[in-house]
Each structure stands twice: as structure tokens, then as C-alpha cells.
A and B are shown apart, each in its own frame.
Chain A
Amino acid sequence: MQRAPLMTARLLAFVALSFAAAPAGAQSPFPQDATAPFPLASALGRGDASTAVVDAEGAFHVNPALLARLELARPTIQLAGVGGANGGSAWSLWKYYRDELGPAIEDGLDSLRVNDRDRFEALYDDALELGRSPSSLSAMAAGPSLQYRINPVTALQVGIFAVSSARGQVHDGGAGVPLIDFYDQTDVHVPVGIGMAMPGSSLAFGVSASAVRRWVTAKYAFVDELDAGGEALYVLSGTGVALDAGVHARDVGSPGLDLGASVRLGGDPALSYSRRIEVSGTDFPDNEAEIAELEARFADRDPDVRYRAGLAYRVPTEDLPEGVAGALIAIDYVGASTSAFDQSTMAHMRFGMEATGGPLTLRAGFAQGYPSFGAGVRTGALRLDYAFFGVEEGRRSSQLRRGVHMLQARFGLGM
């Protein structure tokens, strides 16, 4: 009797590369990495402690009050920026596809099932093992942006930023049946903000409004639910407005000790079905039940109110060793969760430090129970930043880590 394999080549490929195409239980979270809407390698390298750290990027994405603290002797113009991040076992999955699954598909999975059982079963086991822990891929792009001081106490900023993040995981859906949990979100933000230092006071305030255009898609299905003759990723989209407000206090109680806090309201637009991406097959009708399930899933998403507060200590210049122009230590408490669950206090904590000497900045931190480190190089109009950090996918720190490498490059004037 002739029988087909348990899984077709196409479906195995989907498992292995579930980005491109996520134990049975709660569906995996949306990528609320609790970082800024536009993740910053410079901040993440120091554990993402950044609410009170005066930084031009932080003024856009973390705390608009920081805008008032920027020197801005002349306008800062960022012409463009790009970046990417690879988290979890995304690279291993790619290698698995390149070295094992791809050749197996070429050789014919039907044949392997009968004639090379060990290899066939290894393909299956490896897909589950590699996919068990969450993996992520992100791409970032920054368009032109401007920060400009209009008077000694007031500054303005405007820019455009885009970030696309995909997260994939393969659960054991019982008896080794792969259960794919995939999610992708692409956001374009256009923030416009103002920062103002209060004359005669150590306080500065800032507000920012951002237009947010969002596209999301997700797939949560057993591998044998996927229809090799007509499978699609259904994309929902929507437009909304996010409001950010922040405060920054300088030299609180002691020279160099700064406090900051910010809150973001909104930014999660109502989403509705807009189009589909065909994974396999063509000219098949939409799966209305899946679309309805997807829309319900996103409608159930909690309203997005993000807040964070922190402090930073700028080490006095006289305490710095030779060759170090500046150094700081910072702590943040970030209100947003980085997983599907309410997280413990420690999982909300961010701690980090950085030191700058010449064109080089070195960073290290400790966030959610995981160490982080990074470096930045500033040469003329070009700025490069790298960071490695951990994201907690569980409810406590140090429970389910996704390690992420991130690299960003920016080009501009006055940065």
C-alpha cells in the first residue's frame, strides 16, 4: 500500500522556517519586548536602563522630556538608519534548513520515510528541538529625523521610524505533533514631540504624539492543519495614535543623580483584515474562520499603557580614569511585560552602565536576570551600535530566556 509521509516537505519547511512562511497552552505573546517602540541597541546594551539617561534616540523613543536636555547647539539631522536583530535559535533554524531539511526535500521525504527512517525521524526531532524555544528576527529602518532647539528651554523633534519583528516557536502539540506559533508585527511610527526645561527648576517635561500604522499576522496551528494546497498568512492592519509624556529631573539630591519617568498611552490601533500572504497554493478562498479567530485574538489584547521610571547617575568627571570622558550607571523599572504573563518585579527591572572614551562607548547591564553588553562607535556622520541582551519570555526573571543580538547603523549630521 502506498502512503504519503506524515508531513509533506512544504509543511516541514514551514516548521523549520516559521518566521518566513509557534507545550500546547497559551498562545505566545506579542513581541512586547518592553523596549521602546523602536528598539535601541545603544540602550539595550546597558540593560535598557534609559528613562533618565539623556540621549537623542531616547528622546524619540523612551522619554520625550530628554529632548529638553539635549545640547542641540545646532539641529541634529539623522538622514537614515538601518538595523537588524536575531534572537533565540533563528540562526540554528536557518542552518537546519540549509544543511538538513533542504537536502532531505531534494532527496524526497516520501522515500526517506520508508528507506532512511533514521534520517527522516532526525529531521522531525530536530525541528521540534530547535523550535521549542522562541526565536525572533527583527529589521529596523529609520527615515529622516530632526531635533531642533527653538529657544534656550524648548526643543522640537520629528521623525519616521519602522520596525518589523517576527517571532516563531514550535510547541509539542501532543505526541510530538508540531504546533506552530508564529507572529509578525510591522509598525511605522511618525512621532512629533516637544521638550521643555522649566526655568529656575531642575525639571523638564516632554510630550510626543505618534501616528502609528501597524500590520500584524499570526499562525497558531498544528502542522497537519496546514493545507499544502492553500495556506495563507492573513494580515490585519490599522492606524492609531500614541501619546507619550515624560518628565526628567536633574541633580536630584546630589550632583549627577537624575530621575526620569514616562508613560505611553494608545498606539495599539484597532486591526481588521486587509490582505493575505500566500504560503502555498493560489486561487483558494479565504479561511473565514481563521480570520475571525485572528481578529478576536487581537481584539482581546489588553489596552496598551506603558510606563517606565528610572534613575541615572552620571559619574563625576574627576572620578573617571584617564581616557574616559564620561560614564553613567542607570536603573529602570519598566511596566510592560515581555511575555504573555504578568511578570515578577525583578523581570521589570533594568540595570546598566556605560563608559565613553573617544569614539568608543562600552556598555554592560543586567536586565530581567540576564546580562547584557554592547558597544558603540561614532565616526563622523556614522554611528554604529551593537548589543547582546536577554528577553524574558516567562513570568519570572531567568526563567525562559531569548538571547538577542542587535546591530544598528545611523547616518546623519550633528549626531
Chain B
Amino acid sequence: MTVPRAARVIPFALVFFLAACDGGGGDFDSLLIDARLARQGGDLDEAVELYEDALALDPSSAVVRVELASTYLDRSGVDLIDLDRFALHLAEGNAAPDAPPSAGAGGCIYSQIPGAETFDPRGLAEFDGLVAERDVIQLAIATLRGEGVVAGGPRVPPIALRAIDLCDGIEDGELFYDRAAALAALRAQGLDDRQIATALAVNAVALLIDAYFFLNEDLPQQTEWWRLPNGFLGICADDPEALREQSGAAVMDFGEALTSLDMRAEVLALHPGDASRQLVDGAIAAYEAIEMDLGPTCNVLR
């Protein structure tokens, strides 16, 4: 039998037909794989869409919540470097170029301390640019907390990370909270150690930056910041007690960010000298710089 010459091209034409039909699947596993691949390929919009589709199929998936929240931040260019920048500014930031407007009844007491300098909490690079990404940062937080675009999921960062006592839970640069309970809760959600580390990094960055924005954007009363000679920050307000109350949730977010960073370092068995351990130290130093006036009432008020 002889095959007609024209028929010999049929197999080759079939290749191109198959190419046109090479579509993707719409099940959960396929969506998750495709989302990861889109992210690797740099198409973050496509990745977000696919992760959200996967989450719609399984709102309880902690893995998808972690990767989706991480992709939100990735798409907006918010990362650990930003956290480092905020922490560095709080702990060591320069004085404000101009004297701040007076806040506090009868003037700010910190202005009378020899060596104290005015401090501009917004005076760090890219502050305005990051403020513009605040909705995304809050969406990442909500996604990790089982809410966001697809609600009804678990709170991935366990409540044990938030249960740190900010009066007694930080001592000599060390955090005291129920590490075992936090880690067990994370592992119970089916996350492996590297996924846990990812979740904690995203949680820490998003919470700390959002808390910082809250203190600078959302407080209902004007504040005046001073860098004191001991390195701490003094914050004046017309109603100091109200300030402490108004900032309570943000300070708790700050605390959860600290425990998230600390837990991440523990999960990865990082050594004390490792960069991320140093980041934990830096974040604690940043908290200690502001706790005098914003932390819970365990401290002496001005």
C-alpha cells in the first residue's frame, strides 16, 4: 500500500492541532501548580488570579493562603528589606529637619530633655510609595487570617503568636511566648517547615508595616515624636491615655510581627549570628524604641 504524498503531512499538521488544544485543567491541584509556574515566570497578575481560583475551590487551604499572601506582597514589591528599613528608622533614624508641631497639653515634655531631637516617623525612603500599597498589605494580612478575597478559611498564623504579653514577654532582647503551641498549630494546618517560614515572614512584614502606617496615618490625634538620648522615642499626644488605647491593636500587631520573626528563626534553626536572627533583634529594638508611650500601661508615663 502506498500512502498518498499529501497524506504524509497529516501527522505533522496534527502537531500544530495539538498545540492549539493544549489547555490547562481547572481542578485545585492544576490551579495551584499553574499559579506557582506563573509566579516563576514573572506573571504575578496571572499567579494571583490562579491562586484566588484555587482558594475559591478550597478556602481552607493554608498552603494557598500563604502563597497568595506572599504573591500579593511580591506583586507590590513589599518585602523584608522594607521591614528592615522601618525597623532601622525606628531604632536609629535621623532627626526631623524641622521642629514638629506642638502636641500634648502644655507642650511636649520630651522637648525639655537635653540632647533630645525631633524625629520624623515618615522620614524614611519610599514611605509614600509604601503607603500607596497599604491596601495590598492589609489584603495579605486578611488572607492569612482566613479572610480576604475568599473568606471562610483558617487563621494561618496561630493566635499563640499574638498572645505575647508585651509587658513581660520581652526581656533582654528575648521573647517569651508559647512557642510549642504556635508551632504545633502551624504544623496542624499541613504546612511543612519551609511553608511555615514563608507564612511567618509574610505575616511579620505585613503586620509591622501596617502597624507603622497606622501610627502615622490613622491615629485620630496629632502626635509629636522625639529621639531621646538613650535612643528611645518619646511620643507626645494631647491625650496620652487615649493614644495608648487607640494604638493598642497596632501594638499587638507589632508584637505578633516580632513573634512571627522569632518563630521563623526557630523553625529554620537559625544561629544567633544569622542575618534573620539579627533582623529579630532589630525589630525588637524598634519596638523597644516606641513602647514607652505606645505600649501597654506597664510602663511609666511621661
Q: Which residues of A contact B281 (CB under 8 A)?
A: 3
Q: Is A294's beta carbon under 8 Å from chain B?
A: no
B106 at the interface (CB under 8 A from A): no
Q: Is the CB of A1 within 8 A of B41?
A: no
Say yes or no: is A224 at the interface (Cβ < 8 Å to chain B).
Answer: yes
Most interface-central of B11, B22, B84 (chain A CB within 10 A): B22
**Contact residues in A for B237 (Cβ distance below 8 Å):** none
Dominant secondary structure of chain B at its interface with chain A: helix
Contact in complex: A124, B81 (CB < 8 Å) = yes
User: Does B236 lie at the interface of the complex (its beta carbon under 8 Å from any beta carbon of A)?
Assistant: no
Interface string of B1-39 (1 = CB under 8 A from A): 111010010011001001101111000001011111101
**B15 x A351 contact (CB < 8 A):** yes
Nearest neighbor of A349 in chain B, beta-carbon distance:
B15
* Distance between Cα atoms of A257 and B3 in the complex (Å): 9
How far does the alpha carbon of A183 sit from the alpha carbon of B18 in the complex, in Å? 32
Cα-based distance from A399 to B67 in the complex (angstroms): 19
Question: Are A397 and B37 in touch, CB under 8 angstroms?
Answer: no
Query: Do A253 and B67 have beta carbons less than 8 Å apart?
Result: no
Q: Which of B115-123, B219-227, B270-278 contacts A (4 or more CB under 8 A)?
A: B270-278
B199 near A174 with CB under 8 A, answer yes
CA distance A132 to B24 in the complex (A): 22
**B143 in the interface, Cβ–Cβ < 8 Å?**
no
Q: Is A341 an interface residue (CB 8 A)?
A: yes
A254 B195 Cβ-Cβ under 8 A: no
Distance in angstroms between the alpha carbons of A25 and B195 in the assembled complex = 8
> B41 near A400 (CB under 8 angstroms)?
yes
Interface size bucket, A side?
35 or more
- Given A6-B275, A399-B37, CB of A175 within 8 Å of CB of B83: yes
A-B Cβ contacts below 8 A, count: 169
Q: How far is the CB of B281 from chain A (nearest CB, A)?
A: 7
**Once the chains are docked, how many angstroms separate the CA of A222 from the CA of B193?**
11
- Contact residues in A for B18 (Cβ distance below 8 Å): 345-346, 349
Whether B67 pairs with A24 at a CB distance below 8 angstroms is: yes
Chain B window 27-63, contacts with chain A (Cβ cutoff 8 Å), 1 for yes, 0 for no: 0001011111101111000010000000000000000
Instruction: Tell me if A237 is interfacial: C-beta within 8 Å of chain B.
Output: no
Residue of B nearest to A255 (CB): B2
Mask: chain A, 1-15; 1 = CB below 8 Å from B; 0 = not = 101111110010000
Q: Which of A224, A347, A366 contacts B276 (CB 8 A)?
A: A224
Which of B23, B42, B85, B205 contacts A175 (CB under 8 A)? B205
Q: Does B202 sit at the interface, judged by CB under 8 A?
A: yes
| B12: chain A residues within 8 A (beta carbon) | 329, 331, 351
The interface bits of chain B over 187-230 (1 if a CB of A lies within 8 angstroms of the residue's CB, else 0) are: 00000001101111110111000000000000000000000000
Complex interface: stretch among A144-152, A268-276, A356-364, A388-396: A388-396
A24 near B195 (CB under 8 angstroms)?
yes
List chain B residues, Cβ under 8 A from A253: 1-3
Residues of A within 8 A of B34 (CB): 394-395, 399
Interchain nearest-CB distance for B182 vs A (Å) = 17
Please tell me which stretch of A75-83, A165-173, A185-193, A209-217 contacts chain B, meaning at least 4 of its Cβ atoms lie within 8 angstroms of it.
A165-173
User: CB within 8 Å of B: which of A11-56?
Assistant: 11, 23-26
Question: How far does the Cβ of B269 sit from chain A's closest Cβ, in whole Å?
Answer: 8
Q: Determine if A311 is an interface residue (Cβ-Cβ < 8 Å).
A: yes
Q: Are B33 and A175 in contact (CB under 8 A)?
A: no
CA distance A169 to B42 in the complex (A): 13
A400 in contact with B70 given A175-B204, A369-B22 (CB within 8 Å) = no
Please determine whether B92 and A8 come into contact, CB atoms closer than 8 angstroms.
no
A200 is an interface residue with CB less than 8 A from chain B? no
Complexed CA–CA distance, A344 and B25 (Å): 10
Binary contact readout A111-124 vs B (1 if CB under 8 angstroms, 0 otherwise): 00010011011001
Residues of chain B with a CB closer than 8 A to A399's CB:
34, 37, 41
A345 touches B202 (CB 8 A): no
B206: nearest chain-A partner, CB-CB: A175
A7: which B residues are within 8 A, CB to CB?
275
Chain A residue at smallest Cβ distance from B24: A396
- CB-contacts of A361-415 with B (<8 A): 366, 369, 393-400
Query: CB distance A6 to B71 under 8 Å?
Result: no
Measured CB to CB, the nearest residue on chain A to B194 is A24
Is B73 a contact of A175 with CB atoms below 8 Å?
A: yes
Residues of B within 8 A of A25 (CB): 32, 36, 67
B33 contacts A341, C-beta separation under 8 Å: yes
Closest to B36 in A: A25
Cα of A8 to Cα of B274 in the assembled complex, Å = 9
Report chain B residues within 8 Å CB of A179. 194
Interface: A100 (CB within 8 A): no
15 contacts between A and B (CB under 8 A): A4-B278, A11-B275, A24-B66, A114-B88, A132-B42, A169-B40, A172-B70, A176-B81, A254-B2, A331-B15, A347-B22, A395-B24, A396-B23, A397-B22, A399-B37
Nearest 10 CB-CB pairings of A with B: A176-B79, A174-B198, A346-B22, A174-B201, A175-B201, A175-B205, A254-B3, A224-B276, A23-B39, A25-B36
Interface residues of A (CB under 8 A from B): 1, 3-8, 11, 23-26, 114, 117-118, 120-121, 124-125, 129, 132-134, 169, 171-177, 179, 222, 224-225, 227, 253-254, 257, 311, 313, 329, 331, 341, 344-347, 349, 351, 366, 369, 393-400
Using A23-B35, A175-B79, A224-B275 as known contacts, list a sample of 19 further A-B pairs with CB atoms less than 8 Å apart, ordered by residue number in A.
A1-B285, A5-B275, A23-B39, A23-B71, A24-B195, A25-B32, A25-B67, A124-B79, A134-B40, A174-B66, A174-B199, A175-B201, A177-B198, A222-B197, A224-B268, A331-B12, A349-B15, A394-B33, A399-B37
